Structure 1
Amino acid sequence: MHNNWYAIASYEQGAGPRAALVLDEQLYDAAALGAEANPLLLGSQHVITQWEQQRAAVDALARRLHAERAAGRARPLTPGSYKLLVPYQPGRIFGAASNYYEHAAEMGTQLIARSESAPYCFMKAESSVIATEEDVVKPATTHKLDWEVELGVIIGRSCRHVSVEQAHEVIAGYTVFNDISARDLNRRSDYPFTHDWFRGKSFDTFGPMGPWVVPAQCIAEPQKLRMRLAVNDELMQNDTAEGMIFNIAEQIAYLSSMLTLRPGDLIATGTPTGVGMGQGRFLQPGDVMTASIEQIGTLRNRVVAAAL
């Protein structure tokens, strides 16, 4: 892991959201880092959506925290004394469909040659986002609720027509995303348009995200990150982001060719093989999903039935 690794988190202890820096999965409250040139005092939402303006100050705080901790002067929050919140609220969520060859195969998706294709992107409601340890609510209308661990890429500056070569320059950071999907609601028979991914993926609670945001400069090779997801401690997905058909930079270039990407936009870059649909196995109330990406962190979310 990067020697100066850190993450940005949001948490609460009963008196509203507070920002923190994370070192080795320990939280350090923003206020304890001092008030001078400390944008975290305005919250993690402010920092992420103003990343281009705030990055240098946050990096300086992180370096100071590393030094203070090495000298034994920094005190982390006591585990169990706080609740992690969503690290920030994305402005828009863009999803990449069938973006791993093996996942496309397990779903029975027939792909044409990559050279003749382009990323297939959809939008997922930003209101679907929940934090780690929050419950995913299974709607009564679905019998095929599924999991998808994905590398979340967060845009850090307003940009349009970004080249593949320059794409990594517009990334603020990375997070873990679980693209919960109601497979039987992704399809329609009452319209001539057979796919409805917005409906199948946009229910409230269908977007576990977090546990924090790791700045892009802290991860040297994001395409090599290993992604895992377990259900009830049984490993289902285990692959690296190298399996993507269209890599992170290509997805950013494609999206920015159509619209202006904004700070805080989130790209869910696709999921590897091992989803429930490929096994005919789906989530039930009481199941617990644990989604993790190396160098970032772990999400844990339980499934509950919708209230009648």
Structure 2
Amino acid sequence: MATLAQPVGPFALGTFSAPDGDPFPGLLARERVLDLGSALDWAPSGVRDVLERWEETLPVLHALAADDGLAWQPLDGLRVHAPVEPRQVFQSGANYRQHVIDLEVAHRSPDDPRTVAQARAEAAAMMDRRAAEDMPYVFIGLPSAITGPYDDVVLPAWARQPDWELELAAVIGRPAYRVSVEEALSYVAGYTIANDLTDRAGVFRRDMKAIGTDWLRSKNAPGFTPLGPWLVPAGSIADPGDLRVTLTLNGETMQDESTKDMLFDVARLVSYASASARLLPGDLLLTGSPAGNGMHWGRLLRDGDVMAGTITGLGVQRTRCVKETP
């Protein structure tokens, strides 16, 4: 059964299924869902198909959302899956100023001679340099890590420090290659919520420090990226640079920050990623995690924990952690 957390705007997109049915692309409006595989004459098999024809289909979706005479079904009772299956996942790291400063302090080695104040000052100076040099940090994630917004998250037995990272995710609506910052947002179809789980113990390669980070092991276990619940069209979001990102753990607020704290905004990230790679419809661009992760609180994820994440206008995802069974 879906959690009735409605998005902003006249409609959103999602992927749904009846209890014993196959997933289908759906239009969500006023707690009702319309099967787009039947409602659109070209029968898309998934939300990514809709995004492949986004510009021509968007006006049709608006008209469908306003038509009460169609074969709507209640959201309550449907299973909600991740809203889109991307071909590529681009992830921005170290993009929230306060988050980076907190992690710099949390990851200090026991023999680090710096005081907490010195470590924070050095991290702040580093963020200032990055902003001045205009160089975002973007790496690649795996689509196989994505799971639904209400699915259980399996904590692998090898993950010693599993942590949460609630993030705003931009969903690409048309091919983007070498686009300017000024035009970048026109390539974004909409936004959704991603929780980019990370095993902090696996982030850095301690066997060979020159290698740096190991994002494959630390971030890409199956189900380590709960996504959704909805894809909200960009036109319904007044300013992606002014949204509230909030995560609670067992009802206690851990993350509560505005996207205003991002070092590089969505337009800059899309432009930067497209300078090297060709972004495709349905691709995700995760914009980084704000402050308030488990490393900051000294409290990592464990069996039975329940995370609830929300971003202004995008709904709520709720996932339960379960330990891996042999």
Please report the TM-score for the alignment, with normalisation by the length of structure 1. 0.90
Q: Is the 8 A contact 2:244 2:257 kept in 1?
A: yes
Judge which range, 116-125 or 169-178, deviates more. Answer: 116-125
Q: Is the 8 A contact 1:154 1:265 kept in 2?
A: yes
The reply to whether residue 196 of structure 1 matches residue 192 of structure 2 is no
Q: Is the 8 A contact 1:130 1:208 kept in 2?
A: yes
AA in 2 matched with 1:104: V
Q: Deviations over 1:171-193 (max 9, x none)?
A: 01100000000000111122331
Structure 1: stretches of 5+ with no match in the other structure: none
Q: Name the counterpart of 1:134.
A: 151
Q: Name the counterpart of 1:96.
A: 92
Give SS of 2:74's match: coil
Distance 1:40 1:285 in 2: 41
Give SS of 2:268's match: helix
Q: Is the 8 A contact 1:150 1:269 kept in 2?
A: yes
> Displacement of 1:260 after TM fit?
1.4
Return closer, same or farther for 1:116/1:173 CA change in 2, 3 Å cut-off. Answer: same
Query: Which residues of 2 match residues 153-168 of structure 1 at below 5 A?
Result: 153-168=170-185
Distance 2:157 2:236 in 1: 41
Return closer, same or farther for 1:282/1:55 CA change in 2, 3 Å cut-off. Answer: same
Q: Name the counterpart of 2:292.
A: 274
Structure 2: stretches of 5+ with no match in the other structure: 1-5, 106-122
Alignment: residue pair count: 298
The reply to whether residue 149 of structure 1 matches residue 155 of structure 2 is no
Give SS of 1:123's match: strand
Structure 1 vs Structure 2 CA RMSD = 2.2
Distance 1:40 1:154 in 2: 21
Q: Name the counterpart of 2:26.
A: 20
The reply to whether residue 59 of structure 1 matches residue 62 of structure 2 is yes
Q: Is the 8 A contact 2:173 2:280 kept in 1?
A: yes
Please report the TM-score for the alignment, with normalisation by the length of structure 2. 0.85
Q: Deviations over 1:277-297 (max 9, x none)?
A: 112210001001101111111
Return closer, same or farther for 1:167/1:29 CA change in 2, 3 Å cut-off. Answer: same
Q: Name the counterpart of 1:7.
A: 12
Q: Deviations over 1:132-181 (max 9, x none)?
A: 12111111112210001100101111121111111110001100000000
Give SS of 1:22's match: strand
Return closer, same or farther for 1:3/1:203 CA change in 2, 3 Å cut-off. Answer: closer
Match 2:245 to one of 224, 227, 247 = 227
> Displacement of 1:56 after TM fit?
2.8
Q: Deviations over 1:245-300 (max 9, x none)?
A: 00000001111111211111100001111000112210001001101111111111
Give SS of 1:107's match: helix
Distance 2:85 2:38 in 1: 25
Return closer, same or farther for 1:42/1:126 CA change in 2, 3 Å cut-off. Answer: closer
Q: Is the 8 A contact 1:20 1:40 kept in 2?
A: no
AA in 2 matched with 1:98: A
Give SS of 1:165's match: helix
Distance 1:75 1:263 in 2: 26
Distance 2:52 2:164 in 1: 28
Q: Is the 8 A contact 2:166 2:247 kept in 1?
A: yes
The reply to whether residue 295 of structure 1 matches residue 313 of structure 2 is yes
Distance 1:173 1:278 in 2: 30
Q: Is the 8 A contact 2:33 2:75 kept in 1?
A: no
> Displacement of 1:10 after TM fit?
1.1
Give SS of 1:295's match: coil
> Displacement of 1:3 after TM fit?
8.0
